[in-house]
Amino acid sequence: MDFQIALILGQDGITNGAIYALLALALVLVFAVTRVIFIPQGEFVAYGALTLAMIGNNVFPATAWLLLGAGVAVAALDGLGALRAGQARKLPRVLAVNVGYPLAVIALLRLLPLAELGLAVQILLAMLVVVPLGPMMYRIVYQPIAEATVLVLLIVSVASHVAMVGLGLLFFGAEGYRTPPLSDARFDLGSLSISGQTIWVVAASIVLIVALALFFGRTIYGKALRATAINRNGARLMGIPPALAGKLTFLLAALIGVLSGVLISPITTIYYDSGFLIGLKGFVAAIIGGLASYPLAAFGAVLVGLLESFSSFWASAYKEVLVFTLIIPVLVWRSLTSHHVEEEE
Amino acid sequence: MATNNRADRPVLKVEGLCVSYGKVEALTDASITVGEGQIVTVIGPNGAGKTTMLSAIMGLLPSRGRIEFDSVAMVAPEVETMVASGMNLVPEKRELFGEMSVEDNLVLGAFQRYRMGLRDHAQTMEEIFTLFPRLRERRTQMAGTLSGGERQMLAVGRALMAKPKLLMLDEPSLGLAPLITREIFRIVTQLRSRGVSILLVEQNARAALQVADYAYVLETGGVAMEGPASELAGDRRVIDAYLGVGGKHQEMLAT
């Protein structure tokens, strides 16, 4: 291995690492606020990428039907709840948000000449379809059991993941897709050639991380999410509803997932089940951050990306094994350095 | 049992409140009233159900009975609706956001108002800083690094950010040095003059009876005695059970 190969591998590693960093941040965020280990995070990557691929191929994305179905389910749950509480005046809003919105998106997808739109518009459409699935999923799956133990929530996450992979096969078929790169430019720095896509990925990740930091540091809703993560009871007493915090968190997680999918799909072919492995690598990074530290998780993500690309050069058959083996020393190190804290009742 | 607190305009009226943890009944048929601008205290020994009562009124615990707040009957109260309608609880454990700054803690106290479109938290925060100058000095410090007294001040200040009609304080003197306790009670009286009604749960019965207008004695899950605070402070049974002898120094601290 010479210096040039190392540079190429390093570039690959950092590109993937930037995407894993986004996913790791989403996983840390979801766990901190809702105590859910969000295994379906990766499915949002695949759904985002494949929905974009469908739109690019001028095919109506079947995920829009899922959006409608989930919307109807949420409307039924929220509507019945409002009726039982004697708040029938809330019904029109519940219906407009949960059923009206998906119908509008479906109409938009039917009417627009999908393949002729610019890539940016196509990405926007894919986001309009997939991102709302995040909060809807929280409402249907997690909100009714929000007080359950971490283990129960984890098992429910596994179930949601399996269901979403199955639906993915139904929606997109077994074929894999690649979407066009966001930029075809190439920059030559001496012997190193950097693709425009790499710059896009790294820049978009940095912008998103900074935007998240500003959201959590400056806005009252961001502070409310942090407060919920720090002290659930205290947040409730301030009138911050746990359900609102949960939905907001899942909205951010879905947004991050879809953007990661858009960023990664020009680099790797995405299949209906590719999301799991990508999400799991984000999870390894999140574990390095102890599911609590954002900077450590981001650092871990770059480490995972680099380890992956270098091990694919030396021992490509073992590349996944090597990445996931990283968890063992990390867990040993964490269990030696951190004190066990009893979970608050 | 109906309550005899004849307040002109009751802010809070609780009748026949029952709370049970599984099969164990922690609160049986408790009735209390807090009038507008009144300080009402609930005293009683450990395990009498004082905290349970506050949690049930706030909607943190499911309960049976009638809760009327600001002349509106609250059916199955939810914490958010109670906060939105002007009730606020400072719990025994304070429940501060330890890894956030004093200022952020205060801002979040106004979250419900902000959500309802009332964006006056900057001005309210100035008022809180006037009430607790110490918090202004500590505004950028993490809440977790504050001393016990400062934490209690922050907890009260955070609750006041919501501009509540009724402030419920659970053991505000718990774990505080006598001088700090005195400071807290001084502020409680000051709040009343601003028109905030206060429901005060205390183990420090002497101090509580000093500042309160009306008092309830809670024993084993039920209201055992009630009356104007000054009368109860002179009642033989209350003196024997809660005030005792040798409590003279506390009396001096509470003035």
Per residue in B160-219, pLDDT (tens digit) is: 999 999 999 999 888 888 888 888 888 889 888 888 999 999 888 888 898 999 999 998
- Taking the C-alpha atoms of residue A259 and residue A120, their distance in angstroms, rounded to an integer, is 12
pLDDT at A163 over 60: yes
Using alpha carbons, select from A27, A40, A243, A20 the residue that is nearest to residue A133. A40
Average pLDDT value over all residues in chain B: 87
CA distance B162 to chain A (A): 8
**Subunit contact B98:A227, Cβ cutoff 8 A:** no
Interface test with A, best of B105, B108, B169 (most A CBs within 10 A): B108
Helices (H) and strands (E) in chain B, counts: 12, 10
Interface test with A, best of B72, B80, B125 (most A CBs within 10 A): B80
Residues 6 or more apart whose CB falls under 8 angstroms from that of B68 comprise: B10, B12, B13, B14, B15, B74
Give yes or no for a contact between A299 and A288, defined as CB atoms under 8 angstroms apart: yes
**Subunit contact B111:A233, Cβ cutoff 8 A:** no
CATH superfamily of B1-86+167-237: P-loop containing nucleotide triphosphate hydrolases (3.40.50.300)
pLDDT at A345: 37
* Residue A246 belongs to domain spanning: 26-58+113-275
- Return the beta strands (E) in chain A as ranges: 186-189, 192-195
Give yes or no for a contact between B53 and B31, defined as CB atoms under 8 angstroms apart: no
**Subunit contact B100:A238, Cβ cutoff 8 A:** no
**A237 within some domain:** yes
* CA-based max dimension of chain B: 53
pLDDT at B244 over 70: no
Residue A338 has a CB neighbour count (10 Å cut-off) of 10
Tell me the mean pLDDT in the region B20-46: 89
Residues 6 or more apart whose CB falls under 8 angstroms from that of A74 comprise: A98, A136, A139, A140
Return the residue of B nearest to A228 by Cα: B97
Cα separations in angstroms, B97 against A113, A337, A340, B103, B120: 50, 25, 21, 11, 21
Could you tell me the pLDDT band of residue A147, with boundaries at 50, 70 and 90?
confident
pLDDT at A315: 85
**Subunit contact B79:A239, Cβ cutoff 8 A:** yes
CA distance B109 to chain A (A): 5
**Subunit contact A235:B100, Cβ cutoff 8 A:** no
pLDDT at A153 over 50: yes
Tell me the mean pLDDT in the region A44-73: 94
**Subunit contact A223:B114, Cβ cutoff 8 A:** no
Nearest to A239 among B93, B100, B111 (CB): B111
Residue B192 has a CB neighbour count (10 Å cut-off) of 17
**Subunit contact B98:A230, Cβ cutoff 8 A:** yes
- DSSP string of B119-177? --HHHHHHHHHHH-HHHHHTTTSBGGGS-HHHHHHHHHHHHHTT--SEEEEE-TTTT--
Using alpha carbons, select from A22, A114, A53, A40 the residue that is nearest to residue A265. A53
Kindly state the percentage of chain A with pLDDT values over 70: 97
**Subunit contact B108:A227, Cβ cutoff 8 A:** yes
- Taking the C-alpha atoms of residue A114 and residue A126, their distance in angstroms, rounded to an integer, is 11
Considering only A186-190, A217-221, A252-256, which range has the smallest mean pLDDT?
Answer: A186-190
Give yes or no for a contact between B148 and B100, defined as CB atoms under 8 angstroms apart: no
Q: Print burial letters for B22-58: b (CB count within 10 Å at least 16), e (below 16).
A: eeeebbbebbbbbbbbbbbbbbbeeebbbbbbbbbbb
B51-95 pLDDT, tens digit per residue, is 999 999 998 888 888 899 988 888 777 888 899 999 999 999 989
CA distance A189 to chain B (A): 44
Residue A197 has a CB neighbour count (10 Å cut-off) of 20
Q: Tokens 């049992």 label which residue? A: B1
pLDDT at B249: 53
pLDDT at A305: 93
Could you tell me the pLDDT band of residue B238, with boundaries at 50, 70 and 90?
confident
Interface test with B, best of A84, A215, A233, A237 (most B CBs within 10 A): A237
Nearest to B96 among A85, A234, A240 (CB): A234
**A310 within some domain:** no
Return the residue of B nearest to A230 by Cα: B97
Residue B246, classified by CB atoms within 10 Å of its CB into exposed (0-12), middle (13-18) or buried (19+), is: exposed
Higher pLDDT among residues A191 and A73, named by residue? A73
Residues of chain B in contact with residue A235, where contact means CB-CB under 8 angstroms, are 97, 108
CA distance A345 to chain B (A): 13
A204-246 pLDDT, tens digit per residue, is 999 999 999 899 989 999 999 999 989 989 999 999 998 999 9
Could you tell me the pLDDT band of residue B46, with boundaries at 50, 70 and 90?
confident
Length of chain B: 255
Helix (H) or strand (E) holding B226: strand B222-228
pLDDT at B1: 44
**A269 within some domain:** yes
B145: left (phi over 0), alpha (psi -120 to 50) or beta: alpha
State in Å, rounded, how far the first CA of chain A is from the last one: 54
Residues of chain A in contact with residue B91, where contact means CB-CB under 8 angstroms, are 233, 237
A169-181 pLDDT, tens digit per residue, is 999 999 999 988 8
**Subunit contact B80:A239, Cβ cutoff 8 A:** yes
A302-324 pLDDT, tens digit per residue, is 999 999 999 988 888 888 888 89
**Subunit contact B83:A230, Cβ cutoff 8 A:** no
Could you tell me the pLDDT band of residue A188, with boundaries at 50, 70 and 90?
confident
Residues 6 or more apart whose CB falls under 8 angstroms from that of B33 comprise: B3, B5, B7, B10, B12, B13, B14, B40
Average pLDDT value over all residues in chain A: 90
Alpha carbon of residue A317 to chain centroid: 27
pLDDT at A343 over 50: no
Query: Domain total for chain A?
Result: 1
**Subunit contact B112:A239, Cβ cutoff 8 A:** yes
**Subunit contact A237:B89, Cβ cutoff 8 A:** yes
Domain with CATH 3.40.50.300 in chain B: 1-86+167-237
Residue A233, classified by CB atoms within 10 Å of its CB into exposed (0-12), middle (13-18) or buried (19+), is: middle
